[in-house]
Amino acid sequence: MSELSLKTIIFPAAGLGTRFLPATKACRKELLPIVDKPLIQYAAEEAAVAGFEQIIFIVRKDEKSIARHFSDSPGLRERLAKTKTQQEVDALTRTITPSVTCRYVEQPEALGLGHAVWLARPFIEEQHFAVLLPDDLIDGGSYGGCMSQMMEYYKNNKCGAIGVEEVAESETKKYGIVSTEDSSAKASRITTIVEKPSPEKAPSRLGVVGRYILPTSIMSVIEDTKLGVGGEIQITDAISAILGKERIDAYRFDGIRYDCGSKLGYLQANVAYAMQSEELGVEFSNWLSNEVL
């Protein structure tokens, strides 16, 4: 195992998505589009740019639509080729860089994020691996993708890292909240982590977002982790259990995060991305300011 190579990233995508019902009754939350691309494709692009070579998708039992999205579609390409250039056909149908290997693991029951991550253990060969939650969409703008920023940090510091951002006091109960050795630093070693604390019990206002680089040793800890908040196996509890042995830093990424697991965040992301869109930006922004606001 090479200390610095980190090639594998896990995309947990087997949650129930209850906040989006009934839209998520038959359609996976991770396939909901932001303008014209599903959330999980933004995630795959962020991972590919950051240099990951293997994505492990954790999917629900008998779930095939995510795999279909990332597989080749010769019939569709052939059809589009009748009226479009090769470049246009590629832009419309290529959903993943060919250098990235996709693997799919079924989570038979939604037993929590910790359990979803643990299912990927047969594919993790290095000392660290990454996890990206596709419903947390992060626009890194000129700073580059959040995972690219975190990989750079990993290469320089050789330790685990978790993406964090400051959250409103009233919001701590929606997040894993960390305290760190130096709360004002861009990155600092995590000393405690608590899942969804009330504002009174929260050790800080630094909330965990869906980007993690974790030591592989956490897999055996997850195995011993009991059901936590919400009756699920929480990754937060396993992280808390290894903090004494492994260095994991909180990393304040640069960029704007949209919580697309919530309706408000999802709508905000659609508006922001539509306004930036080459195809729609001007028309959409004009409509928004003249007809809606």
Q: For residues 13 and 190, which CB has a smaller minimum distance to ligand UTP in the complex?
A: 13
How many residues appear in the chain? Answer: 293
| Nearest distance in Å: CB 111, ligand UTP | 5
Question: By C-beta, is 112 or 215 nearer to ligand UTP?
Answer: 112
In angstroms, give the least distance from the CB of 293 to ligand UTP.
29
Phi/psi of residue 252, nearest 5 degrees: -85, 105
3-state SS assignment for residue 9: strand
Please give the backbone phi and psi of residue 192, each rounded to the nearest 5 degrees, phi first: -140, 155
| 249/154 Cα distance (integer angstroms) | 10
Contacts of 88 (CB under 8 A, 6+ apart): 80
DSSP state of 6: -
Instruction: Find the shortest distance in angstroms from Cβ 121 to ligand UTP.
Output: 15
Tell me which residues touch ligand UTP (CB under 6 A). 12-19, 29, 58, 107, 110-113, 115-116, 133-135, 261
- In the complex, minimum distance from the CB of residue 13 to ligand UTP, in angstroms, rounded to a whole number: 5
Give the shortest CB-261-to-ligand UTP separation in angstroms: 4
Shortest reach from residue 92's CB to ligand UTP, in Å: 26
Taking CB positions, which residue lies at the least distance from ligand UTP? 15
Rounded CA gap, 285 and 292, in Å?
A: 10
| CA distance from start to end of the chain | 56
Say how far apart CA 263 and CA 259 lie, in whole Å. 8
Q: How far is the CB of 14 from ligand UTP (least distance, A)?
A: 4
Are β-strands 248-252 and 187-195 bridged in parallel, bridged antiparallel, or unpaired?
A: antiparallel
DSSP structure string for 120-148: TGGG--SSEEEEE-TTEEEE-GGG--HHH
| CA gap 149, 154 in Å, rounded | 9
Nearer to ligand UTP, 16 or 185 (CB): 16
Nearer to ligand UTP, 133 or 167 (CB): 133
Q: Among residues 40 and 274, whose Cβ is nearest to ligand UTP?
A: 40
Is residue 293 within 8 A of residue 177, CB to CB? The reply is no
